Amino acid sequence: MATGAGWAPARSVERHGAPRGGSARSKSVAPGLRRPSPSPARARQAADHDGSADSCRVRVAVRLRPKNAQDLAHGSDFNSCVELQPECKRLKLKKNNWSCESYKFDEIFSENASQKRVYEVVAKPVVESVLEGYNGTVMAYGQTGTGKTYTVGRLGKNDPSERGIMVRALEHILSIVSLETDRVAISYLQMYLESVQDLLAPEKTNIPIVEDPKTGEVSLPGAAIVEIKDLEHVFQLLQIGEANRHAANTKMNTESSRSHAILIIHLQRSSRIKEEINGSFSNDIHGISPDDLPLVLKSKLLIVDLAGSERIDKSGSEGHMIEEAKFINLSLTSLGKCINALAENSPHIPTRDSKLTRILRDSFGGTARTSLVVTIGPSAQHYSETSSTIMFGQRAMKVVNTIKLKEEVDYEILYKKMEREVDQLTSEMERQQKLRRSEKMQLDKKLEESEMSFHDLRVTSNMQIENLEKEKRQLECAVKKLMQDLEQENGQKNLLSEKIVHLEKLLNEKKQQQLENLSKTKILADTTKEHEKEMGELLRELEEEKCCSASMKDRLSVLEQQLCDALSFAQLQESMARKLEKELSKVTEDFTSQVQPLKEKIGELISEKELIYEELKSTQQKMQQEMRQRQGLEDQILRLKQSVPDNCAEESKTSCGMVRSGSGLGSAALMSKSGKLREALSGQRGTISKIFEEVGLPNILALLKSEELDVQIHAVKVVANLAAEDINQERIVEEGGLDALLSLLETSENTTIHRVTAGAVANLAMNGSNQGVIMNKGGARQLANVASKTDDPQTLRMVAGAIANLCGNEKLHLMLKQDGGIKALLAMFQTGHNDVIAQIARGIANFAKCESRVISQGHRKGRSLLIEDGVLTWMVANSNRFSASTRRHIELAFCHLAQNEDNTCDIIASGGIKELLRISRESPREDTRNLAKKALDSNPAFLREVQ
């Protein structure tokens, strides 16, 4: 440490408690603590505590190199041209024997000055300042061979005393900072001919210098910045730098004396890191005041080993082009110009003239603390160089810098801190949750325990109650027994007292006897007296009795009188009765005369009834006859059916007379095939119309409710036949025939009844105005019900025919669907009977046709009700199971369904397209083929599917 008053900025600041680190301070003391008032300011001016501006002035020391061999060789010719006065920090420069000038510097180092002392005086204050967060520069200036590199860049790896400023500065910094929290990194550069080259990464040449337009801070972003691990690492890097400098100079055919070497030490220190790591965190994570923000100090130390300051022609380096020579000197010349301008307080500082001055912008006239060591040789041979070096140093001493502290918020630390706080809070939260869970578990356990103890208590109390009750019962028994004992004792006591009484009585009697004997005589006299008295009494009573009987006699006479009166009243009533009897006989006579004609009438009625019975019997006989005829006809029909091909079935509703007789006759088409059959039927129908005319419809309908099954069957057959005639259909419904038929369907268990009734309903359902009535009276439901209960193909054919007829009325479609008509129709397919299936197909075709018409007229929208009940799927699935005639109905239904656009998706999904295509090509009927083609062509979705 310097002892002189001039060169002691560190001490002067230290004296006033200025922010200074130092060897005296322990490494563990955080730099933030050392600052008197940690301000949140990001950059502030360092206080000049002693009030003098020179605390920021560039410090300049002179170092005289010891005489070398060359000096000694020239020793006789050239005496030393310098004379040092270190005690008064003066230097005398002798031009010749009579001209001498004296200069004052901040420090004068003689040739004996150690490297250690040079470091401590020149560099240490700057390094300390850098450790505090200020920028610093240490620079060596002087003629080649005067010891610049020796002073600044000497490594002294094996001999610590030889170590120059670079190694010592890094050693010093590493001894102060903590690499856990702080960061030390270096860049090592060389500048030659205005080109900056990286000595740590020699491939990087011509590195640009960048200036921050806001802060004016200069940086070399292209240069490698290597973070320092330890001193060994420092040696390694500096050695690499040295080797690269040597290699580069050889390659460029230059000497080290022509290039500037610049070591940049980047230092980053956490301002309050230690307190935060070791101390406790604030509980309020949001309440971070600006003073609590973790700050980071960023500073830079530049250690510059300049090129030789001598003029080129004298340096002995030959062979340079003029331009090159100009460049070699450009940086130094510019530095000199800048220092001159700064020393003279010139308004313009030509910093931008060279790269060196740009890099050193902060070092001279900037915010850095700067120390300059000017090296000189002793030989008078180099007087002019020595003189110019000294003049440079003198001018540099006039440069005043305004040092500034660079503090930044350390967001990394802030983030870490927050993260730690979050971690702490999370763990605290988890701890609390655990605590709560364990508390809950404890409470649950307690609850369980108390429930158990409560249960135990209840059990024990129940047991106690039982015991008490038992005890109570035992006590009651004991009490009862005691009571019995007591009663027994009482009885004994009573017996004893009775005995005592008896004994006392006996005693008394004996006493009495004695007394009696004594007073018998007296008593006898008294008794006589009493007898007399009694006699008198009796006599008086007799007298009273006599009086009483006299009054009774009076009463008797009164009663006799009353009896007489009653007798006379009875006689009167008797005479009245006789009179009434006479009247009654007269009325009876009248009544009898009136009843006689009535009786006669009844007789007549009875005979009439008998007549009617007889008539009915003959009718029955006739009907039986007809039955037989019909049976024959049925056989014929069956025979005909077998001979008639399938395709004779007709689609249209009107041509399908479902039932011509109760037992189920064939269709009209069928009949038309057989004239004989027609004759037979017309004959039969004639008979039935005759019956109809003779008996009357109401009577026939009444027979439907007959108790006798036989009569019922005949009656329903007659009705079914009548219903086959168009003219009767409406009348039968009007006269209540439909109600009777539906009730028969519901109540009867008989198969024939079911079959014929279904046929009758089917016939009635041919009439358009009847269809609505049938539906409204629940006909479809009844038919579906019958279908579900039977597997008789004839019955099913009737039911299917009836529903098929109803399918032809579009107004009833929805109702038909809701009443389960369509589902029942599909279900009947299970029979596998062709006639039934033909009716199903006819119904579906009817339905689809009417629905298609309604939809095309715009009266209804949406997909087909048939599809909703699964008809489409059924049709596609069974298409190859239908007979030819049935298939035609199904094809027609298909074509009609395909006309409705809302069915498109279902048709495609069910695979109906294939069927539709087939119909359009193979259907035996041309109109059907055309209908299918039309549906395919008019629907783009179908066309897409076909492709």
Residue 674 lies near Mg ion (rule: CB under 5 A): no
145 binds, among ligand ADP, Mg ion, none (CB under 5 to 8 A by kind): ligand ADP
Q: Which residue is nearest to Mg ion (CB)?
A: 149
Strand partners, 62: 108, 374
Buried-state track 72-100, b at ≥16 Cβ within 10 A, e below 16: eeeeeeeebbbebebeebebebbeeeeee
Determine which helix (DSSP H) or strand (DSSP E) holds 931, and give its type and residue range.
helix 926-938
Q: Which two tokens stand for residue 508?
A: 């008394």
Cβ at position 362, least distance to ligand ADP in Å = 24
CB of 307 to ligand ADP, least distance (A): 9
Nearer to ligand ADP, 12 or 254 (CB): 254
Q: Which helix (H) or strand (E) holds 700?
A: helix 697-703
Smallest separation, CB 62 to ligand ADP (Å): 12
Residue 164 interacting partner from Mg ion, ligand ADP, none (CB closer than 5 to 8 Å by kind): none
Total H helices, total E strands in the chain: 34, 16
Q: If contact means CB under 5 to 8 A according to the sort of partner, which of Mg ion, ligand ADP, none does residue 38 touch?
A: none
Give the shortest CB-312-to-ligand ADP separation in angstroms. 15
Nearer to ligand ADP, 256 or 728 (CB): 256
Task: Residue 55: name its binding partner from ligand ADP, Mg ion, none (Cβ under 5 to 8 Å by kind).
Answer: none
Residue 742's closest CA among 757, 731, 764, 723?
757
Instruction: State the DSSP H helix or E strand holding residue 813, giving kind and residue range, or none if neither.
Output: helix 813-818
143 makes contact with Mg ion (CB under 5 A): no
65 binds, among ligand ADP, Mg ion, none (CB under 5 to 8 A by kind): ligand ADP
Size of the site for Mg ion (CB under 5 A): 2
Nearest distance from residue 109's CB to ligand ADP, in Å? 8
Is residue 190 involved in binding Mg ion (CB under 5 A)?
no
Q: Which does 150 bind (CB under 5 to 8 A by kind): Mg ion, ligand ADP, none?
A: ligand ADP
Burial status of residue 61 (CB atoms within 10 A of its CB: 0-12, 13-18, 19 or more): buried
The amino acid at residue 840 is I
**Chosen from Mg ion, ligand ADP, none, partner binding at 847 (C-beta under 5 to 8 Å by type):** none
Buried b / exposed e over 498-525, threshold 16 CB at 10 Å, is eeeeeeeeeeeeeeeeeeeeeeeeeeee
698 interacts with, out of ligand ADP, Mg ion, none, CB within 5 to 8 A per kind: none
- CB 255, min distance to Mg ion, A: 9
Provide the b/e sequence for 110-144 (b: ≥16 CB within 10 Å).
eeebebeebbbbbbbbbbbbbbbbbbbbbbbbbbb
Min dist CB 249 to ligand ADP, Å, is: 13
Question: Considering beta carbons, is residue 373 or 850 the nearer one to ligand ADP?
Answer: 373
Choose from Mg ion, ligand ADP, none: what does 259 bind? Cβ within 5-8 Å by kind: none
Provide, rounded to whole angstroms, the least separation between the CB of residue 388 and Mg ion: 17
Q: In terms of Cα–Cα distance, which of 837, 842, 848 is closest to 810?
A: 848
Given the rule CB under 6 A, which residues bind ligand ADP? 65-66, 68, 142, 144-150, 257, 308, 375
Residue 159 or 532 having the CB closest to ligand ADP: 159
Residues whose CB is less than 8 angstroms from the CB of residue 926 and which lie 6 or more positions away in sequence, other chains included: none
Asked if residues 929 and 923 have their Cβ atoms less than 8 Å apart, the reply is yes
**Which range binds Mg ion by CB under 5 A, 140-148, 377-385, 530-538, 594-602?**
140-148
The smaller minimum CB distance to ligand ADP, of residues 71 and 891, is found at 71
Based on the shown chain and the rule CB under 5 A, indicate whether residue 351 belongs to the binding site for Mg ion: no
Q: Cβ of residue 89: shortest distance to ligand ADP, in angstroms?
A: 18
Given the rule CB under 5 A, which of 79-87, 145-153, 233-241, 765-773 is the region that contacts Mg ion? 145-153
Tokens of 631: 């049976």
Q: Residue 94: phi, psi to the nearest 5?
A: -100, 120
- In the range 148-167, which residues lie near Mg ion by CB under 5 A? 148-149
Largest CA distance in the chain: 215
Bridge partner list, 300: 266
Q: Which does 309 bind (CB under 5 to 8 A by kind): ligand ADP, Mg ion, none?
A: none
How far apart are alpha carbons 158 and 161 in whole angstroms? 9
**Residues contributing to the site for Mg ion (CB under 5 A):** 148-149
